[in-house]
Chains A and B, each alone.
Chain A
Amino acid sequence: MISSTIMSRTCSSELVAIGIDVVEISKVRNLLSYGTRRVKRVFSSLELAIAGNAGKAAPPRASQCLIRRMAYTFAVKEAVFKSLGRGWGQGMRWSEVCAAREENGRWSVSLRGQALRRLRALGGSHVEACVSMAGNHAIAQAFIYKIPINKQ
């Protein structure tokens, strides 16, 4: 379900595209086990730093928090790719989509490189995302919006 926060915040924007992704949290846990050098091919330093803060909770929840956060982050990246109509293997790099949960619980998404150019080509101005979890799966939905010219 689209969160009411997103709907109210973007009611003056026009929806251009939607993407959704579901990822097994255990697969992200496995990915993280390959160490920082390899993980940095997928996640940005900012994403790792923010997730690292989540991982400062008292053990044993610490690692669970970190893994869940990174699973959400990965799902958001994939959902954004789908909303852009292009994915990994089609010119997009995971590092071009930076997804981070802010302190207020909102997810901010910033794009660069090919992903940003694709957003512009679609007429989009910004991307928003929301996440959820079901069992061992992290779920993310991404929304590309454009601001109508008369609202700019």
Chain B
Amino acid sequence: MANQSEVYEKIKTCLVEALGVDEEEIKPEARIMDDLGAESIDFLDIVFRLEKAFGIKIPRGGLFPDNILSNNTFVKDGKVTAPGLEELRKRMPYANLSAFEKDPRVSNFSSLFTVDLINHYVENMLK
């Protein structure tokens, strides 16, 4: 099994190739959309590259939960509700939600998707 450093390096390669960014831009705190400029088609590429690189299957909504923001129970007045946050904790045990929980505006949701989050997700999958 790959060690943590090897996992991170592989993820870095996937992101550099998928997003056409420089290696130096790939930092743990870099946000996939806001900092690295990923669009929806890039997310597909990232998921497919990760699957190939690590021999894993990432289920739909596995890495990026896809039906929380469209649920009226989980979102009210542009903010993720307490049940929504609870659902996120369940669905994204690999994510650090502490900053988002302080200001759970839907517009902040994309900030959760960082290089670090992908790293934790893959490490979880490989356990």
Contact = CB atoms under 8 A, between A and B. Distances in A.
Nearest to A27: B41
B42 interface: yes
Interface residues of A, number: 22
B45 A31 contact: yes
Nearest to B17: A30
A92 B66 CA distance: 7
Contacts of B44: 31, 41-42
A93 B66 CA distance: 9
Given A91-B69, A91-B70, A31 B64 contact: no
Contacts of A86: 70
Interface of A is mostly: mixed
Nearest to B18: A30
A23 B41 contact: yes
Contacts of B40: 78, 87-89
A114 B70 contact: yes
B60 interface: yes
A93 B71 contact: no
B64 to A, nearest CB: 6
Interface in B56-78: 60, 64-67, 69-71
Given A34-B48, A41-B44, A91-B71, 19 more contacts: A23-B41, A24-B41, A27-B41, A27-B45, A28-B41, A30-B45, A31-B45, A31-B48, A34-B52, A42-B44, A74-B41, A78-B40, A90-B66, A90-B70, A91-B66, A91-B69, A91-B70, A93-B60, A114-B67
Interface of A: 23-24, 27-28, 30-31, 34, 38, 41-42, 74, 78, 86-93, 114, 118
